[in-house]
């Protein structure tokens, strides 16, 4: 199944539609007033009613349309984050929130869909909320306007809620002009492709494969690059470790510049 371009297009089209419906679920839960928040491992690792409903919706919809697909088998793997930026969602930072559906073949991320449920939410009461960005390697990425940070500017986007000395040491070594601390891996990649940041630097093992699969495709489809802190390509086959234990380094341009500035102390602390 994975070798058929027709099946891939059908899968991406389904993921696009499903992601849009997921965005509606996310907004409806917020509007209902009961987020149903539970702590998974700590007070900054949260799950909401929206996480649970979106996960159920995505998995059941894909299972109905692609009954032989294992969501997470064989060579084709789907990585789903039903609510990327959950903590920010609970705090009302709604533009940080995304729904992520990534598709990998033979361990390589090849297609991805990002829904931003609250895109345009600050534009007024009559604004149309939400957008869906999608991409396929070799075809391109769509649903946004590609922009770049001006030459010579070094703007870093990084974690808002999972900072540490290691994270901050790595950022300082980049000699940034500005640092943006926001939630959600999907949101940070959107900042790169829309010219709000030049590098996403996260020197920590906190990120998971479902956080990076879909965003990586969007970034790579427009000429960017996402690796771990050592410069290694991430793998997305079904047996892979879910944690991105060596962190994340992503750029739209000049990846080598940022990779060369990662301190050796940081590299030694983050084992692939």
Give me the active site residues, please.
51, 86
Q: Is 177 annotated as a binding residue?
A: no
Residue 199's Cα: distance from chain center in Å? 14
CA nearest to 90, candidates 124, 129, 47: 47
> Per the annotation, does 256 bind a ligand?
no
Selection from 135, 105, 111, 137 nearest residue 237 by Cα: 105
- 81 labelled as ligand-binding? yes
How far is the C-alpha of 51 from the C-alpha of 39, rounded, in Å? 12
**Pairing verdict, β 38-42 and 199-202:** unpaired
Consult the annotation and say whether 74 binds a ligand: yes
Beta strand 248-251 pairing with 225-227 = antiparallel
CB neighbourhood size of 223 (10 A): 11
User: Would you say 211 is a known binding-site residue?
Assistant: yes
Short-list 201, 250, 197, CA closest to 226: 250
- Please report, in range form, the residues annotated as the binding site for Mg(2+): 74, 81, 83-84, 211
- Please report, in range form, the residues annotated as the binding site: 74, 81, 83-84, 211
């Amino acid at each position: 199944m994975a070798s058929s371009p027709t099946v891939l297009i059908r899968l991406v089209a389904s993921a696009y539609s499903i992601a849009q419906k997921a965005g509606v679920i996310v907004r409806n839960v917020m509007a209902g007033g009961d987020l149903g928040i539970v702590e998974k491992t700590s007070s900054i690792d949260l799950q909401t009613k929206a996480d649970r409903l979106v996960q159920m919706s995505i998995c059941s919809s894909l299972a109905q349309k692609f009954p032989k697909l294992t969501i997470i088998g064989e060579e084709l793997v789907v990585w789903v984050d039903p609510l990327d930026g959950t903590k920010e969602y609970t705090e009302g930072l709604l533009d940080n929130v995304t729904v992520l559906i990534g598709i990998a073949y033979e361990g390589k991320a090849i297609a991805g869909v990002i829904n931003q449920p609250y895109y345009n939410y600050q534009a007024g009461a009559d604004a149309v909320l939400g957008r869906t960005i999608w991409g396929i390697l070799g075809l391109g990425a769509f649903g946004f306007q590609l922009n770049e940070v001006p030459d010579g500017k070094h703007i870093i986007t990084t974690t808002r809620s999972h900072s540490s000395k290691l994270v901050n040491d790595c950022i300082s070594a980049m000699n940034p002009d500005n640092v943006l601390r926001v939630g959600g891996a999907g949101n940070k990649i959107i900042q790169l492709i829309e010219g709000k940041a030049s590098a996403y630097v996260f020197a920590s093992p906190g990120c998971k494969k479902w956080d990076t699969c879909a965003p990586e495709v969007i970034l790579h489809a427009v000429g960017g690059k996402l690796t771990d802190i050592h410069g290694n390509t991430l793998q997305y086959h079904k047996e892979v470790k879910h944690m991105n234990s060596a962190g994340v380094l992503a750029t739209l341009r000049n990846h080598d510049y940022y990779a060369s500035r990662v301190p050796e102390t940081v590299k030694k602390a983050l084992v692939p």
